[in-house]
Amino acid sequence: MPALLRYQTALLVRSQRWLPPVILYAVFLGIGVQGGQPILDSLAYAAGALLPVAAWLVRVCVSNEPPAARSCSAAAAGPGRAHLASLLAALL
């Protein structure tokens, strides 16, 4: 499982498809979290922005691997473990 997780993380980092959701989250934080506001308002704003960003990252990770490579990793480790590794790589 650690090898699959490293593989999925390397695919995600090399593809640079993680950049738009992370930039979007940084923009949300830059706009919504300001000094002098109550901390719970800022945390609620950040959590509300984090949900769609996390969903976008999971979608990127699950569809990141080419079909032939996905078949190879599913044959080597099992389809459930290969899918779980891509989900865990997205949420790291």
pLDDT at 39: 82
pTM: 0.73
pLDDT at 28: 86
**Residue with the two structure tokens 């002098």:** 36
pLDDT at 86: 87
Per-residue pLDDT tens, the chain, 92 aa: give them: 899 889 888 988 899 988 999 999 899 888 888 778 888 888 888 888 889 998 998 898 888 888 898 899 899 999 999 889 888 888 88
Cα separation, 62 vs 38, whole angstroms: 37
Let me know if 85 is exposed, middle or buried by CB neighbors in 10 A (0-12, 13-18, 19+). Answer: buried
Structure tokens at 39: 């901390």
The residue ranges of every structural domain in the chain are 2-91
